[in-house]
Amino acid sequence: AEAAAVAAKGKAEAEAIQAKAEAEAAGILKKAEAMKQYGDAARQQMELDTLKVYFEQLPKIAEAVAKGYMNVDSIKMFGGDSSKLAGDIMTTVTQVTDGIKESTGLDINEMLAKGFAKEKAEDAKPVEKNDTGNDYQEV
């Protein structure tokens, strides 16, 4: 009788563990399904949040780069292109964009290009025919 009780207790514990595991698995599946449905929306929100932070911080980044030149009275360049200094400043800002891409996988340049392309497509009006049959587009 004692062995039967121990076996019953062991069986009950095993069934409880199995039920818990099945419930956890069902929960994970439901969560995965929800994330699958909201994946695009979540990614778009992450892209928007990243762009927002990028454009909020960009002036501060440019200011920090420019501070290195604040105490300089004059810069004399010999044997080179004078636009190189401005190019170096832009390279520093570009490195921030590249860093965001490497760390988050989000390509800000690509997101901006998509946004401008979409905006341009929405602004474009279709070419209509007038009474004379000539093509024209209102501007």
Q: Across the strands, what pairs with 112?
A: none
Angle subtended by helix axes 2-67 and 108-123, to nearest 10: 80
Beta strands in the chain (DSSP E): 128-129, 135-136
pTM of the model as a whole: 0.38
Give yes or no for a contact between 15 and 69, defined as CB atoms under 8 angstroms apart.
no
pLDDT digit string (tens) for 52-107? 888 888 888 778 777 777 777 777 766 666 667 677 777 877 888 888 888 778 78
